Amino acid sequence: MTLEELYAGIGGDYEQVIRIMRMDKLIDKHIRKFEKNALAQNVLQASESMDPIQLFESAHAMKGVCANLGLTRLSETAAELADEFRPGTARRWTDEQVRAKIQSLVDLSEDTVKKIQEYIQENNQ
């Protein structure tokens, strides 16, 4: 599996990440680290208390990392959650809707990690 195939399978934007990182070798290095990243788990933990500051910060961090890696679907989902808890804005969603969005973020993250693991196995160096 190539990086382009990986990105197509995970709803990422290979063209975006190649503009940022310029080399497949660098993309490969950072995408391999993503599977060990606890960003989605941090959002899930923050949802246990529904603390708006923790939810904003964890979702915002996830959005940034995913955007830099060209993980578009994950970045957009995290951005929606971060916007819900952005300081100074009124909430639009119920707690149940927030939990559903968080679960979709976690599920998407797990699917992404599985595909990355497949990529790593096929391209083990």
Residue 27 covered by a domain: yes
Does residue 36 lie in a domain region? yes
- Domain total in the chain: 1
Whether 101 maps to a domain, the answer reads yes
pLDDT tens, 95-117? Answer: 999 999 999 999 999 999 999 99
Token output for 102: 């968080």
For residue 59, being part of any structural domain is answered with: yes
Question: pLDDT tens digits, residue range 34-44?
Answer: 988 888 889 98
Task: Check which CATH number belongs to the domain holding 23 and give it.
Answer: 1.20.120
pTM beyond 0.85: yes
Report if residue 125 sits inside a domain: no
Name the average pLDDT for the chain. 93
* Residues 6+ positions from 47 with CB-CB distance below 8 Å: 55, 98, 99, 102
Q: Which domain holds residue 111?
A: 3-120
Write the DSSP symbol of residue 89: S
